[in-house]
Structure 1
Amino acid sequence: MVDPATPAIPMRVGKSERNGMTDIAALIGRIFISGVFIISGIAKIGAPTATMAFISSVGLPFPQLGLAIGIVIETVVAVAFLVGYRTRMMAAIIVVYCFATAIFFHNAWSDVNQLMHFWKNMTMAGGLMQVIAFGAGRYSLDAFRS
């Protein structure tokens, strides 16, 4: 029997609990999150030598491969995330990328700037995990395809 004194709290936000503002917020969130990656990916395309030098400077092997991975994730995957195509999977890929870049590139925590970049990556990963949990919303290719 349900205790009437205890309000029912939905465990997940289903389609019936969503409203227009929720879906607009999801779209705006995808725009903001993907923008960071798309701009960074374009910068990598424009300055591949500098990017490979940075990859090498932290001791990682195969800087050309690292550059290619960065460009693909920051452009192709980020655009797919932006338009809401297989959004949860794209968000998961970017979460792994955020963790990897935080660990390999922003691990000098005695440098306040690097510490802030580390936590910026963790914050973006947290936002992306919300997308993994709740989906892309109505304004996405995922919603259009279903």
Structure 2
Amino acid sequence: MERSLIRSAGANTMLLAGRLLLSAIFLHEGATLALDFSATVETFARLGLDLPVAIGVILLQLAAGLSVAAGLATRLGATALGIFCLLTAVLFHTDFASRNELLHFEKDFAIAGGMFVLAISGAGSLSIDAWLKRSGPTPIAAFL
């Protein structure tokens, strides 16, 4: 019994560490895009993407990144970021003659895989999701 509790605490600590590591790239990138908004809009325009897409990407990265980091609606945030990574890879990193582009493609697929695993496993006990479930039935807890 004691051994399973230790293993469970260790697993939940690893889930927390994984959530924080996976979310860090999105929180950093979302903040960077937001803080230099004019450069972001110019970059998106060069890629043929309009202002609403730039705003949507910033909001997605920040909101879903915070969701995963805090463990609040983790499954939803992780699924959204996993799909975002797959789309980014197949739409923008397909020049496999460039080692850098291939690396970005592979990185995006790897992050998507991590996000999908997290979407299935959930946030673990060290999360707001778990706290909401323990605190009793709420409209939010029904979706966790």
Shift of 1:97: 0.9
Q: For residues 67-90 of structure 1, what are the alpha-carbon distances to aligned partners after superposition, in whole Å with 9 as ceiling and x for unaligned?
A: 111111111111011101111111
- 1:69 is aligned to 56
Please give the alpha-carbon distance, in whole angstroms, between the structure 2 residues aligned to 1:58 and 1:111. Answer: 18
SS across alignment from 2:126: coil
More helix by share: 2
The one of 31, 43, 60 aligned to 1:54 = 43
- Matched with 2:31 is 42
Q: Distance in 2 between matches of 1:115 and 1:121?
A: 10
The answer for unaligned runs of 5 or more in structure 1 is 1-14
Output the amino acid matched with 1:43: T
Map 1:1-146 onto structure 2 (within 5 A): 19-60=8-49, 62=50, 64-146=51-133
How far residue 52 of structure 1 moved from its aligned partner, in angstroms, is 2.2
RMSD, aligned α-carbons: 1.7
**Number of equivalent positions:** 129
Residues of 2 paired with 1:108 and 1:50: CA distance?
23
Aligned mates of 2:35, 2:114 — CA distance in 1: 28
TM-score normalised by length of structure 1: 0.82
Structure 2: which 5+ runs fail to align? Answer: 134-144
Letter in 2 for 1:90: G
Amino acid at match of 2:30: G
1:68-119 deviations in Å (ceiling 9; x for gaps) = 1111111111101110111111111111111121122212221110110111
Question: Identity over the aligned pairs, expressed in percent?
Answer: 27
Q: What is the CA–CA distance in structure 2 between the aligned matches of 1:53 and 1:106, rounded to whole Å?
A: 19
Counterpart of 1:49 in 2: which secondary structure? helix
Scaled by the length of structure 2, the TM-score of the pair is: 0.83
Runs of 4+ in 1 over 4 A off after TM superposition: none
3-state SS in 1 of match to 2:95 = coil
Is 1:24–1:139's contact at 8 Å kept on the other side of the alignment?
Answer: yes
